[in-house]
Amino acid sequence: MSRINKRIKVKNELARQIMGEILGTFVLLLFGCAAAAQVKTSRETKGQFLSVNLAFSIGVMCAMYLCRAVSGAHINPAVSLSFCVLGDLAWIKLLPYSLAQILGAYLASGLVYLIYHDAIMEFSGGVLTVFGPNETASIFATYPTDVVSVQTSFLDQVVGTAMLMLCILPLNDKRNAPAPEALLPPIVATVVLGISMSMSANCGAAINPARDLGPRLFTFTAGWGKEVFTSYDYFFWIPLVAPMVGGVLGSIIYLVFIQWHLPEPEDEPESGEFKEQTKVMEQNNKKDELYHKISSL
Amino acid sequence: MSRINKRIKVKNELARQIMGEILGTFVLLLFGCAAAAQVKTSRETKGQFLSVNLAFSIGVMCAMYLCRAVSGAHINPAVSLSFCVLGDLAWIKLLPYSLAQILGAYLASGLVYLIYHDAIMEFSGGVLTVFGPNETASIFATYPTDVVSVQTSFLDQVVGTAMLMLCILPLNDKRNAPAPEALLPPIVATVVLGISMSMSANCGAAINPARDLGPRLFTFTAGWGKEVFTSYDYFFWIPLVAPMVGGVLGSIIYLVFIQWHLPEPEDEPESGEFKEQTKVMEQNNKKDELYHKISSL
Amino acid sequence: MSRINKRIKVKNELARQIMGEILGTFVLLLFGCAAAAQVKTSRETKGQFLSVNLAFSIGVMCAMYLCRAVSGAHINPAVSLSFCVLGDLAWIKLLPYSLAQILGAYLASGLVYLIYHDAIMEFSGGVLTVFGPNETASIFATYPTDVVSVQTSFLDQVVGTAMLMLCILPLNDKRNAPAPEALLPPIVATVVLGISMSMSANCGAAINPARDLGPRLFTFTAGWGKEVFTSYDYFFWIPLVAPMVGGVLGSIIYLVFIQWHLPEPEDEPESGEFKEQTKVMEQNNKKDELYHKISSL
Amino acid sequence: MSRINKRIKVKNELARQIMGEILGTFVLLLFGCAAAAQVKTSRETKGQFLSVNLAFSIGVMCAMYLCRAVSGAHINPAVSLSFCVLGDLAWIKLLPYSLAQILGAYLASGLVYLIYHDAIMEFSGGVLTVFGPNETASIFATYPTDVVSVQTSFLDQVVGTAMLMLCILPLNDKRNAPAPEALLPPIVATVVLGISMSMSANCGAAINPARDLGPRLFTFTAGWGKEVFTSYDYFFWIPLVAPMVGGVLGSIIYLVFIQWHLPEPEDEPESGEFKEQTKVMEQNNKKDELYHKISSL
């Protein structure tokens, strides 16, 4: 068993990471898009706008617990890009990570379509459209409202993704006052919930190019037609580009306004428990030296 | 007192575990079905669809804190089967566990019926039916929508339960980046909330044969008639069989795509705190040897 | 300063505990009743049924963090009685605790009335009544629905409070798999949320004699008249008596079905971390002996 | 890099703290006001009253993780004043902190206006007003209902802010039974959620002069006119003054009724884990002495 295991084990780190990102983004989108399908096709009798926000948020939590030990659980090209800029991810991995995330999102959209096929057919009367009261494209990708301009949409996505990075980076920054590492997934999920409750009115708070492009590609291949790309004046490029800008911007704001001014790890006492243990270790080290002296007598 | 205690104490491990599973599933269903009764009989004035999702989720949390030290708190035959496949539960215990879970669910349904007897009678006009605007069968067991096909229902339950296992297994996997053990119950509960908000539109997200069969048997014996089994083209078998398939499938996906590729506990440094302690212990062990040398001088 | 402090410090333990229970129950009811007033007087535009459930739940959390180091934060005579039965509270303290809780609830009701005086007057047209579409008595105390019988109400309150004790006792039971002690308040709050979402349709889920009698006494003295006691066939006695029965019953069920069968603390290995530390300590103890031998050479 | 970093690093502690408070309050208001804009301009189709409460709550969490290591994350002049009274903040810092908080709130309001500019224009018909069905001023600052008197508004804000301090102070009080330090942000956020669900019906639960004045100043400068200050009989002074009174009052109630009577840190055994570690350390200290004896032989 153990030997078979070793043979099967994917030894290439990048291959493992790609597998992790595919599965993680798959889980995120399965929760999120299925909730959107549930609310839409049940005509809000089995959930409301808030349910979709909550389901995406829980999807973030589940995806993070699933694959953060494997790939860091970026599940978002804008996050991967930010980590490249911050030096936490090799630039060479940015493209594979992003493609894996898009693939995971595409596959999840397909499965959501299978699960909700009957309901989508009933709701839409069999016509898969981007517009009108029976549109079902918004179950998958994001679309703006009629009143929002291109500039505002772009700004909206920049700010939303900047908030994501600005609020997530301190959670795991040892120099700041971080959250418990084992509880990062629900706390990051809560940040995402906050963004989707406050910045999704204009254009759906994608704040994640993979979360948007994967499902959009799926709807394109599954019968919604080229309108998924052309509608709203070719809106689709905004959730691809703006989050990349916003993610980096948010990361830089965190660095410039907060992190650079925090005490460096060594020039300040560490927090309680760790300190105790460090002391114990240091004392033990001293004793070790004494032992050696004694034992070398 | 202590001696009486020892006499009463159930020494047979399986008997204790059965007792734990009965009580755990009882608590899960009491919260869940009572919330369904509250929302239904109050005509959504005292809660909404989300309340029922939340109550089942909190039921999971309470059941887990109650009996996980006793029986592992499976409270779901699909989970028990998955743990058999994973080697964490003896196959011989699968049937007793499942029967205990069904019994717990049956008893909880009975108590919910007693508590909400007056309200159910008023709501239904005294006629306990599976169909129509005054149906009350869906307070207890799950039923599909009119538009969903058998194949889709089956897939829906497979996917829902696969997501359950896929998202729960990493939470307690030391080789992954697990959640704090003492906080597993609320985090597992959140996973269940996510599933019931995103995959309950088609056929109610049983994802648990006991959660469905127990209450269905109760309604059968309490006056809803044989329609609870025959309705929707004998739908009742789907939440019995599909979750078993889905649970195993989700577990295998976790193994194949994530766990097999995680570093083995010994060939990689462990996470912070534990590492410190291990080091302290190792150093102490070395010292012990020195002591022995010294003391044997 | 420190000396003044010592003079002011209430040295009598019971007096301190009474103060803690007054303030804790005050906080619980201030959150809960204010939320009820907000939802009622805003005609559900500033919150819904769920808000009241959530506010009572958050009130439990806040009250527990506030006074559990002082008095154990029972904030509920049914909980105090259960702890008397379990041997965790001296019987002599039951009456003072209960009276303190009722007083805290009374005072909070008064403050809620002051804060929402204008809104209550506007909503009720200046007539404070127990019945009708403009009734405001239910902001404070609980009242049953028209259809629920005395027996069902009694059972409802027994079951609700039994669930409370059954689900809370394992959270802090070292022999079980308890929750982190520092996070007990939000987890207990979640249990209370579950009960109020699933068992409040019949008669409002008081599950706490003080939470019900305090506000009822306030409405009696503040102008709602004696109907607060006489209405619904003298319903008021049910949330006083039934929770006491239910609390004890739930505690006994926990003891008989779970706790008695759990391994005793010493006859089973403790959980991970603690074990490590214990080992370190034991090793150190052994070393200490060796030291003494060596140093006494 | 490291040398550049050191040059850029703001060495003045107060300057760093001001930067932290600006950014923290900015994050709080961006979440909160954007959610208010989303709910208002979508006419409650993309969120409800509860969403705004939740978004402000998540804003508190994010702001605290972001800047509490820098500035303590007061993000509220009433909190800063309370900490001055409690001796945890130098009085000289009260004004800079407060101004920083107001500035952060002002900037966030401006950004929310930019993001929701198109939607606000569409909703209001291009006329920015404080009154009427198309008013948009309440997206930013708080306004009372028509029925509430000045005295009640003042009391409402005093009580709301007093509850804030009363419920937050025990969370971090080592002499009480505090919450885990790394989880203070979500728990404080939950307290704020409770207050905004139960005490926001009268006048919007500002409980924070900066949260109110910053956005009010923004609306004043951005075209809503002087009515933002003059409306409701110059209501604007109430959320400035009353929270300052309430914060101090709540702090004093906590001191007088709870903290003064808690055991002093040294005259009571510490909680489990810490105690173990302390013991280990003490034993090691003893050993150290022995070592010195031995090594000095």
Inter-helix orientation angle D209-219/D238-257, to 10°:
170
Total tally of structural domains belonging to chain C? 1
Specify whether the CB–CB gap between A204 and B199 falls below 8 A: no
Alpha helices for chain C (secondary structure H): 2-8, 13-41, 49-71, 77-86, 94-115, 117-124, 150-168, 184-198, 209-219, 227-234, 238-257, 272-295
pLDDT at C121 over 70: yes
Domain with residue D244: its CATH number is 1.20.1080.10
**Cβ neighbours of B147 in A, within 8 Å:** 118-119, 121-122
Average pLDDT over residues B90-114: 98
Q: In the structure, what pLDDT confidence band is assigned to residue A9 with cuts at 50, 70 and 90?
A: low
Considering chain C, what is the average pLDDT of its residues? 90
B191: chain A residues, CB-CB within 8 Å: 58, 61-62
Greater confidence (D62 vs B9) lies with D62
C136 occurs within a structural domain = yes
Interatomic CA distance for residues D29 and C87, integer angstroms: 49
CA separation, residue D63 to residues A170, A286, C121, C208, D69 (Å): 10, 42, 38, 36, 11
Query: Chain D contacts of C287, Cβ < 8 Å?
Result: 287
Nearest to B283 among A62, A185, A284 (CB): A284
- Residue A277: inside a domain, yes or no? no
DSSP letters along chain A, please?
-HHHHHHHS---HHHHHHHHHHHHHHHHHHHHHHHHHHHHHTTTSS--HHHHHHHHHHHHHHHHHHHHHHH----SHHHHHHHHHHTSS-GGGHHHHHHHHHHHHHHHHHHHHHHTHHHHHHHHTT---SSSTT--GGGTS----SS--HHHHHHHHHHHHHHHHHHHGGGG-TTS-PPPGGGHHHHHHHHHHHHHHHS-TTT-----HHHHHHHHHHHHHHTS-THHHHHHHHGGGHHHHHHHHHHHHHHHHHHHHTGGGSPPGGGSPPPHHHHHHHHHHHHHHHHHHHHHHHHT-
Distances (CA, A) of A284 to A289, B294, C274, D284, D290: 9, 17, 20, 8, 13
CA distance D11 to D15: 8
Helix (H), strand (E), coil (C) string for C218-271? HHHHHHHCCHHHHHHHHHHHHHHHHHHHHHHHHHHHHHHHCHHHCCCHHHCCCC
Query: Do the domain assignments include residue B287?
Result: no
Sign, Cα dihedral of D101, D104, D105, D106:
positive
- What pLDDT score was predicted for residue A19? 95
- Centroid of chain to Cα D285: 43
Instruction: Report the 10 Å Cβ neighbour count for C131.
Output: 11
Cα–Cα distance measured from residue C72 to residue C82, given in angstroms and rounded to the nearest whole number = 13
How far apart are alpha carbons D227 and B250 in whole angstroms?
Answer: 60
Distances (CA, A) of D39 to A181, D33, D53, D223: 33, 10, 11, 21
Domain membership of residue A172 (yes or no) is yes
Residue A233 falls inside a structural domain: yes
Taken in order B117, B119, B125, B131, the sign of the CA dihedral is negative
Q: What is the ipTM of this complex?
A: 0.88
Residue keyed to tokens 């989707």: A196
Contacts of B49 in chain A (CB under 8 A): 45-47
Tell me the nearest-neighbour CA distance from A50 into chain D, angstroms.
6
Is residue B190 one of the residues assigned to a domain?
Answer: yes
pLDDT recorded at residue D12: 84
Chain A environment of B200 (Cβ under 8 Å): 38, 46
pLDDT in tens, C19-53: 999 999 999 999 999 999 999 999 999 999 999 99
CB of C211 closer than 8 Å to CB of C104: no
Query: Quick one: closest CA in B to A41, which residue?
Result: B201
Sequence-distant (6+) residues with CB within 8 A of D81 are D94, D244, D247, D248
User: What is the C-alpha to C-alpha distance for residues C33 and C27, in angstroms, rounded to an integer?
Assistant: 10
Confidence tier at B266 by pLDDT (50, 70, 90): low
pLDDT at C268 over 60: no
The Cα of A54 is separated from the nearest Cα of chain D by a number of Å equal to 11
| pLDDT at position D6 | 63
Whether the CB of D201 is below 8 Å from some CB of chain C: the reply is: yes
Segment A35-54, tens digit of pLDDT: 999 999 999 999 999 999 99
Instruction: State which amino acid sits at residue D30.
Output: L
Instruction: State the smallest CA–CA distance between residue A115 and chain B in angstroms.
Output: 6
**Whether the predicted pLDDT of A213 surpasses 90:** yes
C-alpha C188/C-alpha A11 separation (Å) is: 45
Instruction: Quick: pLDDT tens for A77-88.
Output: 999 999 999 999
Mutate which of C49, C60, C198, C278 to test chain B, going by most B C-beta atoms within 10 A?
Answer: C198
Which residue did the predictor score with more confidence, C285 or B274?
A: C285
CB contact under 8 A, A152 and D182: no
Which of B150, B159, B193, B197 best probes binding to A when mutated, by most A CB atoms within 10 angstroms?
B197
pLDDT given for residue C261 in this prediction: 87
Q: What is the DSSP letter of D148?
A: -
State the CB neighbour count (10 A cutoff) for residue C5: 13
Helix (H, G, I), strand (E, B) or coil at C105: helix
Q: Would you say residue D280 has pLDDT above 50?
A: no
* B11 or D134, which is more confident: D134
Domain assignment of residue D144, given as a range = 9-262
Nearest partner of A296 among B294, B124, C31, judged by Cα: B294
The type of residue at A77 is P
* C207-230 pLDDT, tens digit each: 999 999 999 999 999 999 999 999
| Residues near D262 by beta carbon (within 8 Å), at least 6 away in sequence | C69, C70, D173, D175, D176
- Lowest mean pLDDT across A36-40, D144-148, D264-268: D264-268
Rounded to whole angstroms, what are the CA distances from C145 to B38, C131, C152?
12, 11, 11
How many other C-beta atoms can be found within 10 angstroms of the C-beta atom of residue D131?
A: 11
* Mean pLDDT for chain B overall: 90
Residue A78's nearest CA partner among A149, A137, A166, A152 is A166
- Check the CA dihedral A178-A184-A187-A188 and report its sign: positive
Residue C292 lies in a domain: no
Local structure of residue B224 (DSSP, 8 states): I
Secondary structure of residue D134 in the 3-state scheme: coil
Report the C-alpha gap between A147 and A150 in whole angstroms. 10
Average pLDDT over residues B193-203: 97
State what percent of residues in chain D have pLDDT above 90. 83
Measure the CA–CA gap between B170 and B159, rounded to whole angstroms: 17
Task: Report how far residue D32's alpha carbon sits from residue D109's, in angstroms, rounded to the nearest whole number.
Answer: 10
Chain D: residue nearest A145 by CA?
D119
CB of A235 less than 8 A from some CB of B? no
For residue B233, report the phi and psi dihedrals to the nearest 5 degrees. Answer: 55, 50
| Torsion angles phi and psi, residue D127, rounded to 5 | -105, 115
- Summarize pLDDT for D187-204 with one digit per residue, the tens: 999 999 999 999 999 999
Interface contact C290-B287, CB threshold 8 A: no
Do C277 and B281 make contact, defined as CB atoms within 8 angstroms? no
